[in-house]
Amino acid sequence: MADVLSQGEVESLLAALDAAPAETSGYAPPSTHNSNESIGQISVYDFKRPERVSKEQMRAFQALHEGFSREFGAAVSGMLRSIIEVKLISVDQLTYGEFVFSLENPTCFNLLYSDKLNGHIILDLNPSIIYPIVDRLLGGGKSATQSFPTRPLTEIELKLVSRITKSAISALENSWKNISELNLRVSQIESNPQLVQIVPPNEVIVLISFEITMGDLRGDYEPVHSLQHD
């Protein structure tokens, strides 16, 4: 797939070309600019990591998911009968390959699909918080533990985690309802994120990171939006 430059990126490249010294055969024309005058500002553009999403769109993503964090936190708190805090940490764009290789393995990697979207949404639940949540759902106490199994979730654990996923989907649909009725559904669950190739590794995605706090425990929750189908 070809990379597309925005108008602003094209203007930055033209400004860089205009500011570069002329390379003619042995002759350099005298500068017509005063050394104290500004000749324009050059923006650095990284062709290896093109930004596909504008700053305005990134701010819109942030506003949408701040509402999601409040609703999801309230839903999980009611489910576990404990105070759960869900806080939006960051909204970034990076390549799909960078995202996948940054994840724990095994993890709880949920691939969501909607007929209304031209791409996918991924919900990744970090093991550092998902196992304590499963423990609470099975009747465990409030004592914090910093250790958790380094194995995929069992069938019973996946059934329990699906309750968390359904709450997350409901909160996502509500936060997006003024834009589009998503009607999300889980199409795939994987413990090894590297087995899921929904887009090429160099495709740009939007990563929204949340921190879930349950007592003294903290873990990450990350919905990821791909920008288009492979």
Q: Exposure string (b/e) for 3-23, b if CB count within 10 Å is 16 or more?
A: eeeeeebeebeeeeeeeeeee
Cis peptide before 106 (omega within 30 of 0): yes
Per-residue pLDDT, 174: 94
* Cα–Cα distance measured from residue 151 to residue 104, given in angstroms and rounded to the nearest whole number: 11
Q: Is the pLDDT of residue 29 over 90?
A: no
Q: Give the strands of the sheet with 204-214, arranged side by side.
A: 84-95, 204-214, 217-226, 121-125, 108-113, 185-190
Assess if CATH 3.40.1550.10 describes domain 55-226: yes
Tell me: the pLDDT tens digits for 124-175?
998 888 888 898 888 876 655 567 788 899 999 999 999 999 999 999 999 9
Q: Is the pLDDT of residue 115 over 60?
A: yes
pTM of the model: 0.71
Task: Kindly list the domain boundaries of the chain, sorted by start residue.
Answer: 55-226
Q: What is the mean pLDDT of residues 215-222?
A: 68
